[in-house]
Amino acid sequence: MSINQFLDYISHEKKYSAHTCIAYEKDLIDFKDFCKTHFELNIIENVDYSHIRTWIVSLVENQITNRTVNRKISALRSYYKFLLKTETIKVSPLKLHRPLRVSKKINVPFSTEEVDRLLDSDLFPKDYEGVLQKTIISLMYYTGLRRMELIELEDSSVDFQNKSIKVLGKRNKERIIPLLPEALKIMKNYISCKKDLSQSLPSYFFCSSNGLKLTEGFVYQTVNHYFSLVSSKVKKSPHLLRHSFATHLLNNGADLNSVKELLGHESIAATQIYTHSSLKKIKETYAKAHPRGSKD
């Protein structure tokens, strides 16, 4: 059973994102090359756990973080689950494996002051690219869109009459996100600028000045560059902007289930990670609201 068949399966049947498929392919090929070099094995269907364990030790010795090692093993685990499903193997070599321990990592979101400082500033150029970049950052903050969701957003998915956008998320799951008046204003201004482009435009809502579909790198660089101008945080990424969207909603009283739906999470557990960032606000509210909170 080839790796290519597995990749076709997760791409077409499981509907994994292109980014995930590429990452899984790289991890599987890396493991295959390792087995060929160290054990003279040309296929990885019938390896046992000792081979995988040796690879894990090699990764750790090369200072690969436990978090990254776990991600690579996750790719292997999915592959061997597929082989079980297709009855190519009878037992997964990872059946008894336990993930490496990792420290909990809590990303500190942008503050509302940092977001306001950027969106209310004159830092964005007045040309098409500047308007595009401001609209990208604004829409991500107003809606909590993932980077690929923003890139894949189509003109037909924007409903100005009903003040909402239809988003195609992970596993092709659709959700409707309402748009606030300020977001609508920024988007309409962007469309006005977009009409001035001379190129034939794609069906995607966002495109470059050359009329091309945006890349993940462009969106990342946009967020990173502009937030570098207003924030001293080490990490400045599209995901942190999504994180900030969720945290600010929770800080201002939004219930967890509503935030879950807006983010497109399948389970409430995935949304609960954002409550860590809201803990300070929760403590402050608790101290003020409790009848005995003012007592020493």
Catalytic residue among 146, 194, 236, 248: 146
The reported pLDDT for the residue numbered 289 is 66
Catalytic residue among 81, 170, 233, 235: 170
156: DSSP letter: G
Q: Which residues of 202-229 are buried (b: 16+ CB within 10 A; e: fewer)?
A: eebbbbbeeeeebeeebbeebbeebbee
User: CA distances (Å), 270 to each of 175, 212, 274, in order?
Assistant: 17, 33, 8
The reported pLDDT for the residue numbered 25 is 95
The reported pLDDT for the residue numbered 288 is 67
CA distance 34 to 218: 34
The reported pLDDT for the residue numbered 196 is 87
Catalytic residue among 175, 233, 239, 281: 239
Question: Where do the structural domains in the chain lie, given as residue ranges?
Answer: 3-85, 112-285
**Are 206 and 121 in contact, with CB atoms under 8 Å apart?**
no
CA distance 144 to 141: 6
Q: Which fold has domain 112-285?
A: hpI Integrase; Chain A (1.10.443)
Does 226 participate in catalysis according to the annotation? no
The reported pLDDT for the residue numbered 107 is 73
Does 290 participate in catalysis according to the annotation? no
Number of H helices, E strands in the chain: 13, 3
User: CA distances (Å), 193 to each of 159, 188, 209, in order?
Assistant: 18, 9, 10
Catalytic residue among 242, 243, 248, 260: 242
Ranges in the chain, pLDDT < 70 = 1, 104-106, 275-296
The reported pLDDT for the residue numbered 188 is 97
The reported pLDDT for the residue numbered 294 is 56
> Could you tell me which CATH number the domain at 3-85 has?
1.10.150
Does 19 participate in catalysis according to the annotation? no
196: DSSP letter: T
CA atoms 207, 210, 212, 217: torsion sign:
negative
Q: Which amino acid is at 160?
A: F
Rounded to two decimals, the pTM is 0.67
The reported pLDDT for the residue numbered 14 is 86
The reported pLDDT for the residue numbered 221 is 96
The reported pLDDT for the residue numbered 97 is 94
- Nearest Cα to Cα of residue 205 among 253, 234, 168: 168
Does 225 participate in catalysis according to the annotation? no
**CA 286, 289, 290 angle in degrees (round to 5)?**
80
Q: Which two tokens stand for residue 38?
A: 């160290």
